[in-house]
Structure 1
């Protein structure tokens, strides 16, 4: 299911304003010349096509930015949840473990006291929804 673009009404109304202004100015200029109506029509067609192309490009750009922002928010939520779970786990010391998430890939870094803690941190990270994989860069000290 495709999400609605919240910026589309603003973009469409902006394009309509530009087209209306263009139409009015070209219409006035065309009235003064012989055969001007055809020229005005051609210019309006070009302007409408150009505005449509610009609208499509703007929609695509906004859609990509919204998708990127959505992924960033999802990654941030995953990181926060894992850090909270590590903090609440008596076997792990949260200050020794760094957690980052990028496109669902969780990276654990830092030092732990034992191999058991290293394994437990990876289990905590992997058990979260949205996690596609875990890169465990923890070192036993």
Structure 2
């Protein structure tokens, strides 16, 4: 909103400068002095607007990168959960999956070392996984 107001002020200033420049008065006076001041103010405002737009653009770019990472992590988590869920014999409700910057953490419990290894292998096979931190605990089935 502030950027739009600055653009409006800049536009109005430019119109005033153009109007004063179009005056056909050969005698220097208050109008010429005012025109120079308006021209300087418009120039300064333009520089400030340009700097502000650059800052906003940089921040938007940074947020886009952060959002992309969050979406990728959520997608990886969903794919790992789907792979584990599709595997017969794994008690999927006892396995939690969390992903941060491509590093998947498995936590919870499994019934055997084979299930532990299977869950880790399934997670590692998902596209985008950089590392698997296996914190699964082996418990004896009841």
TM over 0.5: yes
Spell out structure 1 runs of 4+ moving beyond 2 A.
Answer: 14-23, 25-29, 31-34
Give the drift of 1:105: 0.8
Residue from 111, 114, 117 that aligns with 2:115: 117
Q: What CA deviation, in whole Å up to 9, does each residue of 1:77-106 have, x standing for no partner?
A: 111111111011113111010001111111
Cα distance in structure 2, aligned partners of 1:66 and 1:22 = 30
Give the drift of 1:57: 0.9
Give the drift of 1:15: 4.5
5+ long unaligned stretches in structure 1: 1-10
| Count of matched residue pairs | 129
CA contact (8 A) 2:13 2:42 kept: no
State yes or no: 1:24 paired with 2:30: no
Task: Give the 5 Å matches for 1:21-60.
Answer: 21-25=9-13, 28=16, 33-60=31-58
- Aligned partner of 1:127 in structure 2 is 125
- Aligned partner of 1:7 in structure 2 is none
SS at 2:126 equivalent: coil
- Aligned partner of 2:137 in structure 1 is 139
* TM-score, reference length from structure 1: 0.79
Cα distance in structure 2, aligned partners of 1:124 and 1:70 = 24
- C-alpha RMSD over aligned residues: 2.5
CA contact (8 A) 1:98 1:110 kept: yes
Give the drift of 1:17: 6.2
SS at 1:131 equivalent: coil
5+ long unaligned stretches in structure 2: 21-29
